[in-house]
Structure formats: C-alpha cells, structure tokens
A and B are shown apart, each in its own frame.
Chain A
C-alpha cells in the first residue's frame, strides 16, 4: 500500500445548513445566489460554490499550512446543522395536523435525500471518467449504499 486518503468532513449538499454552519463559525455572508456565496472569515474573502453536487470553499491543499483552521470547525458545524434540521423536520411532522403541512415536510426531507444521492452519482461518474482517461480499468460494486470503485492499471 502506498497511500491512503480520507475525506475530512461530510460534503455540504444542503444550502440552508451550509449557510447556518458558516454563520455558526463566525463567517459573514456578504452575498449569495443559487450557486455561489461570497463571505468573509478570518480577515479574508472566500467564495463558496456549488460544484460537483456539493457546496465547497476551495483552497490549495498542496500548499502546506494553507488549510485554514476554521475549515475543521465548518465541517463539524455543518454536521451539527444537518442533525438539527433532521430533528426539526421530525418534530414538525409529529405536530403537523394538515395533510398539506405533512406533505411539505416530506418533500423537504426528500429534497435532502435527492441531494445526497446526486452527490454520490456525480462523484462516481467523475471518478470513473477520470480513471478511464488515466488508463485504468474500473470495476464497480455497491453494497449497503456504499459504492466501491476498484481501478486497475497494468503495464
């Protein structure tokens, strides 16, 4: 084995939770549209963009020390906001007496699930495309919602 990489935090697929998480870590959102959000944090301006199925604030990871410390806090804050949203939706569903209210809650939960699935599909398709371009053969298996892509190059 020569290298192992693990993604540090859950990708941000829910815009509402992403904005609340940014607020929780002290970011000031100066402008936002459907796919882009300008913010200031740690004395710098950053842009959060919706790309490849997630909201991301990108930096150069190969430049040592470039990962801002607040990024770790953002991952935790987002996971917390997602948990809060799930709880909020469950509580609202319990007390909803009108069918219309219940349907709206179910639609909101379905939208979150759609975003999660879209992220996985986007990631899978991108990895397969890049792998083939790099000359790898790709074998895909899916088990319990986990996608495993085995890329092999011989030569």
Chain B
C-alpha cells in the first residue's frame, strides 16, 4: 500500500472523519462535473489540489500537466467547430478544444477530489454502500499505481497490479476510525467548501460560461 493512500494527518484529516469527507466529496462531484466552463473547472481543480495537499497528499504538478495536455491533444484529432488557429498544419477547433479541456479537467479534478475525500477508514452504511466505498478505494489505489502498467507488457503488468491489490483494502482498512468526530471548524470548512462550489455552479447555470465566453 502506497504511503499516500492511508494518510489521515494534515489539516483535513485531523478535522473530520472519513464519512464526512466522503460526503463532502460526493456533494462536490456533481457541482464540478456539471460545470461546463473549462476555466471555472480549472479554478476548482486548483482548490481541490490544495485540499489534497492539506490532507497530506503529494501533488505531482508535472504529471498532472502532462496528462492534461495529452488529453486535450488527443481530442483535437477530430476537428469540430470553427478553426481557432493552426498548429503544424493541424487545425485547432473550438468545440474539440472545449471538449478536450472538459475531459482533461474532469479526470484531473476527480482524482483530486477522490484524493482528499476517500480514506481507508471510510465505512458507508449498508452492504451496497460498503461495496461502492471499497470499489472507489480500489480505483484510487489503481490510479495511484497506474505508472506500473507497462504498455509493452500489458497483461503481465496488469496481472502484477491485481496481485498486489487483492486484499489490500482489508489489510489497510482494518480497524477503521469510528471514534473520530468532526470538529466545529472542520464542519464549517466542509459546509463552506460544498456551498461555495454549488453556488458557483448555480451561477453558471443562470450565466453560462462566465470566464470562457459564449
């Protein structure tokens, strides 16, 4: 288990139990994913990355930038919309660019949200809840170890990864932390965080693309 996955220290870790963080993350997801302005999404990502850092996670800026540029470039392959400029003879079209930016920010943002809102001691009530929580945590583990997947040895490297992961949640989750309570400051911070993101989202429903332009 990588060190970053089980960390509970840091600003948020000390102020809120896993369930409160997960609830905040779940409430933030729609306000983030349904946001259609790539610039607003970019600002949200900066906030989420800051929260991840506050949770004791290591932020790899270069990796994030490379992933984002790659996704945008990949999406520009299919030209859609008016041509904004031409790079090396290839047209950069508006709709394809916006689609690429939305996809790139969605992936990076979801990773950032999951990094600060999912912890090993998370216990969602009910059998299906437990299964979803466990599945999301496995997703987080796979994402954190995705560099181990080797394109030249795809089958072998995925196999190694699965061997490594099988049972790791049980090993890591163990006792859980039912005694931890949300401090008043932690609760206020989480409520403010969710409310601010929803307020921005609702504003952009009324006033679409405030930063990108229509």
A and B bind? no
* A residues neighboring B (CB under 8 Å): none
* B residues neighboring A (CB under 8 Å): none
